[in-house]
Structure 1
Amino acid sequence: MPNDLADFVVVANRLPVDRITTDDGHMSWRSSPGGLVTALEPVLRAHHGAWVGWHGATDEVLDPFEHDGMHLVPVPLSEIEVAEYYEGFSNATLWPLYHDVVRPPEFHREWWDAYVQVNRRFAEQAAAVASEGAFVWVQDYQLQLVPQMLRELRSDLRIGFFLHIPFPPTELFGQLPWRREILEGLLGADLVGFQMPGAAQNFVRLVRQRVGHKTRRNLVDLPDGRIVKAEAYPISIDAAGFEALAHTPEIEARAAEIREQLGNPKTVLLGIDRLDYTKGLPQRLRAFGELLAEGRLSVEDAVFIQVATPSRE
């Protein structure tokens, strides 16, 4: 296979960059906000890997490009696909179903069809850029069919999947008309990762109940002899790096200034998110109000700060 193929490939709904227009009118890219980008950028740079994802514009085909030490591979999406695959099935079906909050999930056949079509495109792009025996790491609920599609295209690959949101119990997951297809899609991975142990247990239980495969604790035995492992790997930030940064004189001085500007509260609650309904910002505000109403926090001693960056969609 060509030498420019990657030994480590990240596959995610979005590339880790946003397009901007500079002061002189030229187009450029900057790193995106968000937990997924923060978590994966260092890993990608360390392994000189490739990142496959949508670049944020509709009906536009872009060639792969380099940014800040990363090789980025854009996946094109049409305006209809964004509406049906992303805003529809991903964020109006899967997200509320998996969280059981915010609003009821919606089920539409055309959304599902778009989800299948887009997942196949991501799988094909990943297969095209991965070297022989490469490790491919598929990310999150938007791409749950990619592992199996990718395995059908490239059986030589080592495939991992990580879900960054909860995975529901059978009582919730059973509402999804395409539940078996989702489970079989995830079983294309060698390792399926979750944030919490309960999510991994839900997945294994559903595979046993809905697909009929034999399971052993956190392992799934497939008919072809392959074994899929489901495990919890809570995602983290660079805690040591942030701790060291927090103890620098400049940061300590700035922190003291901010605390004084806020009235020197005993408790500071901070949220930093994209301005998107999936982040539950109104619910967060109401929860803060409940804490005040119940007397568990005091208006004299507590401050809630929410930083919301514009949604990329």
Structure 2
Amino acid sequence: MGGVSYDLVIVANRLPVDRVELADGTKGWRTSPGGLVTAIEPVMRANHGVWIGWPGGTDPELEPFESDGMELAPMSMSAQDIEEFYEGFSNGTLWPLYHDLVAKPEFHREWWDSYVRVNERFAEKAASLAAEGATVWVHDYQLQLVPQMLRTLRPDLRIGFYLHIPFPPAELFQQLPWRRQILEGLLGADLVGFQLPGAAQNFVRLVRQRVGHKTHRDLVYLPDGRTVRAAPFPISIDAAGFEEMARSDAVRFRSAEIREALGRPRKVFLGVDRLDYTKGIYARLRAFAELMGEGHIDVEDAVFIQVAVPSREQVEQYRIL
């Protein structure tokens, strides 16, 4: 891949695969958990491009490689980056702030400085791999400064940004000491995407109030003549692919085996989530208990299965959960 440039560059905090130790002691690759990978991987496969991201761990920078038909460019992280950028600013500051203060966000200048440094490295990597006039698609709350940094390095690029989590109203967002820098970082993109209309409206309103740019509906007019569009794009999975898999003989056979092993219940409640305090897993368990307690369902007749992938085990709130 040396010297190769790409017309499509995906930039996300994580690669679609994690670096893991296999049973025989060697290092291998495993699909990363979470909705971002599930949503973006089919797009990546349909358009030949490169995916820039962190493979987990503190391995020194690995060479670009191909995995399961995808070109991947790994980014390294030091123990300090993981502590301050990833566990700190991304998951200790932004994540709870953007999720309606479901946990208390912490604000530390060292964490912010690390966030800026890591965003710069991601922007430089994208600039080095993008062809002339390429489309670069930046993802999620960990990399909100990348669009503006990339715009400065490569004004020729078409840049999109998509936020995979809620975007908060002004009352919450203005608690962030670096609110203006985040807004200006996102305005480096030509198109800023959100999951819901309310989030896009929150963003445009904040840009008007906090940065002072003119706006009209979903457009922001910048002094340099550029126009940025902020709009909702409800995210999905490859529904047709999942349906095809569900109809396969192997899956039907396995589902019958699972139902048999569970005692042939008539009702199966299923949750599949990262083990995260924003996913409502605890509330779900309580709701299931109340349905049983009130006699709406019977223990002989119903079972609740929760598939939960542990994540962010170093962050205190996740350890508690």
Look up the match of 1:126. 126
Which aligned pairs between 1:61-210 and structure 2 lie closer than 5 A? 61-210=61-210
Q: Which amino acid aligns with 2:20?
A: I
Given that residues 5 and 129 in structure 1 are in contact (C-alpha distance below 8 angstroms), is that contact kept between their aligned partners in structure 2? yes
TM-superposed deviation, 1:18: 1.5
TM-score, reference length from structure 1: 0.91
Against the structure 1 CA distance between its residues 29 and 295, is the aligned structure 2 distance closer, same or farther, given a 3 Å change threshold?
same
Q: Which runs of 5+ in 2 are unaligned?
A: 314-321
Distance across 2 between alignment mates of 1:248 and 1:29: 26
Change (3 A) 1:312 1:214: same
Task: Quickly say closer, same or farther: Cα 1:28–1:261, change in 2 above 3 A.
Answer: closer
Q: Provide Cα deviations, 1:173-209, integer angstroms capped at 9, x if missing partner.
A: 1111111111111111011111111111111111111
For the residue of structure 2 that corresponds to 1:37, the secondary structure is: helix
Report % sequence identity: 71
Q: Distance between the aligned counterparts of 1:84 and 1:16, measured in 2?
A: 22
**Do 1:56 and 1:312's aligned partners in 2 also have CA atoms closer than 8 Å?**
no
Could you report, residue by residue, the CA deviation over 1:258-311 in whole angstroms, capped at 9, with x for unpaired residues? 334434445433222333455454344345445556766655554321112343
Which residue of structure 2 aligns with residue 235 of structure 1? 235
Aligned length: 312
> How many angstroms apart in 1 are the aligned matches of 2:31 and 2:279?
20
SS at match of 1:61: coil
Of stretches 43-52 and 193-202 in structure 1, the one that deviates more from structure 2 is 43-52
CA 296–157 in structure 1, closer or farther in 2 if over 3 Å, else same? farther
Match of 1:4 in 2: 4
What one-letter code is carried by the residue in structure 2 that aligns with 1:184? E
Question: What TM-score, normalized to structure 2?
Answer: 0.89
243-252 or 10-19, which deviates more? 243-252
Specify every segment of 5 or more residues in structure 1 that has no aligned partner in the other structure, as ranges: none
Give me the whole-angstrom Cα distance separating, in 1, the residues matched to 2:296 and 2:172.
32
Aligned residue type for 1:159: I
CA drift of 1:54 comes to 1.2
Q: Tell which deviates more after alignment, 102-111 or 184-193.
A: 102-111
Per the TM alignment, residue 211 of structure 1 is displaced from its structure 2 partner at its CA by: 1.1
Q: Is the 8 A contact 2:42 2:238 kept in 1?
A: no
The CA distance in 2 between the partners of 1:246 and 1:59, in whole Å, is 37
Q: Deviations over 1:9-63 (max 9, x none)?
A: 1101111112233454432223223221122222222222111111212262222
